[in-house]
Structure 1
Amino acid sequence: MRESEERFRAAFHQAAVGIAHVARDGRWLLVNQKLCDIVGYTPEELQLLTFQDITHPDDLNADLKYIDQVLADNIQTYSMEKRYFRKDSCIVWVNLTVSLMREPWGEPKYFISVIEDISERQAALRERKQWEEQIQASLLEKEVLLKEIYHRVKNNLQVISSLLNLQSAYINDKHDLAIFRQSQQRIASMALVHEKLYQSHDLARINFGEYIRDLVASLFSAYEVNEDTIALAINIDEHVFLGLDTAIPCSLIIQELVSNSLKYAFPAGRNGTIYIELKKTYEHQITLIVSDDGIGLPSNFNFKNIASLGWQLVDALTNQLSGNLNIQGASGVECQLTFTLI
């Protein structure tokens, strides 16, 4: 029996973690050397104190609440991270595990506390938190800067559009004036992309369905379209978000295709409908359809052989997107663009 007790005491005092027997009122009854090393007191000094005396006040209520639950036999044991005050007044973080020893007849005898010093871990966590806060602050700063860039680019494009508008007042040739107007519309479509990016919660992407509605509305206004004559039908997947490098070429393609429909599909007051569809056909593939039920295209139509700047732009922008453009013009015109999101 004595040998067994000696082995217990040896293991108790040589343990790699702090171990203590604690009375119900919080007095330290028995402590090992590791615990003394953690809190900086000698065994004799600790035994004159209670655990409440060296517990950080912000952690004490939680500790006492757990003790009440253990004494009421609601829980068998508990663990928590808490702070002790060392003898030198420094704070040490520990992981505390507590269980209750009872007399054979069930009366609470004392608590067994296992205390592990986790100050280094807490310091690492604090350092990581500070690092994350610095990253968040840096990201916020970059978001503000990026918003300002989008805002300034939009404003500069609007200035260019206004200059073209002023210059157009000195142009008498109707053909040259139409070129100026088309250039203004192209600039406006790019400015709208930057405006949407500026307003977006995700500064890297915009909801392209929302953008299309605004773009087409501005085109209908620019061409003074009578909505009783030419109707607009839109079927858009609201979950399509495009980044700047994709949104601008895609927007310019829509600009050209819708403009062509407005200019040529419905001559002499002919009624009709312009239809726009945007959807994800596969996980990373986008299909854009712009069609009308107008007069259609000549049977020998090949947009690659046409000297029109608009069709040349559509071809160049399709290549920029690494997309495929299929045009059908036997009955009305349907342009189907497919491209893969990168």
Structure 2
Amino acid sequence: MELSFTGIVYLPISLGLFIIAFRFYKEWTIFKENEALIYFRLFLLFSIVCFSGALAGTVFAHHPEGIRWSLILSSYILAITIGLLGYLIVFYRFPQISPWVGFFIIFSFGIFTSILTTTADIHPELESSGGIFWGMPFYINMLRFFLYLSGIGPLIYIMLKHKVKKAADRDTKMKYIFLVAFFGFVFVVVTVDFVIEPIFQIRALASELAILLLLVMFTIAYFYFMERVVSKSEKRFRRLVQNMSDMICLLSSDGTIDYANPAQSQGLEFEMSEIVGKSFLTFVHRDDRELVKKFIFGDQIDGGNERVEFRVVTKGNEIKWVETAGFFFLDSEAEADEVGKLVLASRDVTDRKIAVEHLNQSLEEKRILISEIYHRVRNNLATVIGLLTIHASRLTDEHTKSVLLDTKNRIFSMSLVHQLLYQTKDLSQINLKDYVEKLVHNLSKVLRVSEKVKIHYDLEDIMLNIEVAVPCGLIIHELVTNSFRHAFKEKTVGNLYIETKTIGDNYYQMEIRDDGRGISENVSDESAEALGFKLVNSLVAQIQGELKIRNDHGTDIVITFRNR
């Protein structure tokens, strides 16, 4: 006899298991569930184990050494296979633990069994009935039996208690019942092969006929079950798409509409027969077609996260705005090198577009109004500054004249804030760098500061709200005016340093220092210098800041504050 009956039986068994593995692979590609991936690997490895048995009974049927090495190879593959059963045990019963813990525990037992199988005295032979007698020692048979038992026994118990009993629907319940039945069938076969046959000396031929018959029945039952599940999933998916309020259409690689759901027909006001078979661009507004072409035929679509807004034209020539997302998927009958089909999901956003347009128009009107208010406040402050200048020019008392000029400069610092706000697009913030440079430049001109006094700027681009900008401007005015008037009285040259920087999240530091004579210790409380510092302290408190003064080789004032 050229071929053994064992080899002939194991070949279709291997093929049947491979087909079941492929079905689980298809399920994984559709639903991306880890469970389906594990079952794909499990049945694929079972198929390889059976295929090694087929090799032993066909190619090596008359070569005992070939049968022996096929058996040893299958033993190592079996260690991985039963290890996956351990993975499923932990996956189902102990979700807080990594499933790989279960895998490695049983895998270790399988490797131990495989090593003993490799070193055991095995004498396989072909029986006259056509079956193969594996010739393994009884202790190897028992180890292999307990290896199967360690994976299949707990798994069947857990699946019956936690999966079959608590299944969400009938199809899911049937799926787990099939798997329990399959593992039970495997356990029966293992019990016959490794326990009953060696003890009772039953011919291998009888058990292998039973295995073949049972596997054929299981394969037919599995295919019937899977076709039901797939059919039900397809119906559920189609029902979902058909009842969606979003417009869904399926495009071929040239942009032709192959399918459209009822919402697409209702949105465009065309009959379904007038949509399917037409180019999608037919329904796009002519001014937006280039944009849509780039979206559909370009490389913008990758995973469905990209969206585009464009106009479509209905049958009644009404223009609607739609927001569309797209993603590619390969048709089940598509070749590997085909581009695939494109799914477009569109939503009518016409009302939103109109609302946004009205909102933008309203915001623009408010921006113009606020800008005009800033402009008028600045003009009114300029009028006050002009009046103060006229009154100051008529005064003969120098002290009163100085007070009016200080007041005028303080008003200018506030006026400058409104001027900068009027000139910027952001009507709530000003750039502190621009503000400081213009304010200090104006003070140097008004106070006629000597050219020998050098002003050094180290300013960051910091944006301040108007509530903080006005007090900061007055603080800078007081401190810079104090330096210009008092710091360099006894010096012909000097330096004034003004620095601003960010020191944290929305926290800033402003430093004004000079190398003048410093703050005098005997300043009168009623002097302009003392009154200026009182005002500075009040303004620092207003912006909830912190003031530090160092009087060493000049005056160094550091203010830390937060932009509200």
Task: Indicate whether the TM-score tops 0.5.
Answer: yes
Q: Which residue of 2 aligns with 1:285?
A: 507
Q: CA deviation at 1:324?
A: 1.2
Q: CA deviation at 1:134?
A: 1.2
1:117-150: CA deviation from partner (whole Å, max 9, x where unpaired): x6xx41xx11111111111111111111111111
The equivalent position to 1:247 in structure 2, one of 469, 472, 488, is 469
Contact persistence 1:190–1:252 (CA under 8 A): yes
Q: CA deviation at 1:330?
A: 3.1
The equivalent position to 2:549 in structure 1, one of 327, 334, 338, is 327
CA distance in 1, matches of 2:425, 2:395: 42
The equivalent position to 1:202 in structure 2, one of 426, 431, 437, is 426
1:86-145: CA deviation from partner (whole Å, max 9, x where unpaired): 6x8889989999998989xxxxxxxx99999x6xx41xx111111111111111111111
**SS of the residue 1:153 aligns to:** helix
Contact persistence 1:208–1:240 (CA under 8 A): yes
CA distance in 2, matches of 1:311, 1:36: 72
* Matched AA of 2:459: I
Contact persistence 1:272–1:292 (CA under 8 A): yes
Q: Which residue of 2 aligns with 1:158?
A: 382
Q: TM-score, normalised by structure 2?
A: 0.44
Q: Which residue of 2 aligns with 1:190?
A: 414
Q: Which residue of 2 aligns with 1:131?
A: 355
Aligned CA RMSD, in angstroms, stands at: 4.8
The verdict on how the C-alpha distance between 1:231 and 1:101 changes in structure 2, with shifts beyond 3 A counting, is closer
**SS of the residue 2:504 aligns to:** coil
CA distance in 2, matches of 1:302, 1:246: 30
Q: Give 5+ residue unaligned stretches, structure 1.
A: 23-27, 70-79, 104-111
Contact persistence 2:241–2:261 (CA under 8 A): no
* Matched AA of 2:507: Q
Q: CA deviation at 1:298?
A: 3.0
Q: CA deviation at 1:232?
A: 0.7
1:198-225: CA deviation from partner (whole Å, max 9, x where unpaired): 1122211111011101111101101111
CA distance in 1, matches of 2:509, 2:264: 71
Contact persistence 1:17–1:35 (CA under 8 A): no
Structure number with the bigger relative contact order (C-alpha 8 A, sep ≥ 6) is 1
The verdict on how the C-alpha distance between 1:182 and 1:301 changes in structure 2, with shifts beyond 3 A counting, is closer
The equivalent position to 2:459 in structure 1, one of 227, 236, 252, is 236
Pairs aligned (count): 304
**SS of the residue 1:318 aligns to:** helix
* Matched AA of 2:560: T
1:230-260: CA deviation from partner (whole Å, max 9, x where unpaired): 11111111x3111111011001011011101
Residue 145 of structure 1 pairs with residue 369 of structure 2: yes
Between the aligned residues of both structures, percent identity stands at: 28
The verdict on how the C-alpha distance between 1:114 and 1:158 changes in structure 2, with shifts beyond 3 A counting, is closer
* Matched AA of 2:535: L
The verdict on how the C-alpha distance between 1:33 and 1:191 changes in structure 2, with shifts beyond 3 A counting, is closer
* Matched AA of 1:282: G
Q: CA deviation at 1:32?
A: 11
Larger C-alpha radius of gyration, 1 or 2? Answer: 2
CA distance in 1, matches of 2:264, 2:493: 92
CA distance in 2, matches of 1:246, 1:33: 57
* Matched AA of 2:370: L
CA distance in 1, matches of 2:445, 2:476: 16
Matches within 5 A, 1:1-342: 46=273, 51-52=277-278, 56=282, 58=284, 121-122=347-348, 125-227=349-451, 229-237=452-460, 239-268=461-490, 270-299=492-521, 308-342=530-564
Contact persistence 2:270–2:314 (CA under 8 A): no
CA distance in 2, matches of 1:292, 1:33: 76
**SS of the residue 2:552 aligns to:** coil
Contact persistence 2:490–2:517 (CA under 8 A): no
Q: TM-score, normalised by structure 1?
A: 0.70
Contact persistence 1:304–1:312 (CA under 8 A): no
**SS of the residue 2:505 aligns to:** coil
Q: CA deviation at 1:331?
A: 1.8
Q: CA deviation at 1:297?
A: 2.0
1:296-338: CA deviation from partner (whole Å, max 9, x where unpaired): 1234679899984322211110110111111122321111111
Q: Whose helix proportion is higher, 1 or 2?
A: 2
Q: Which residue of 1 aligns with 2:130?
A: none
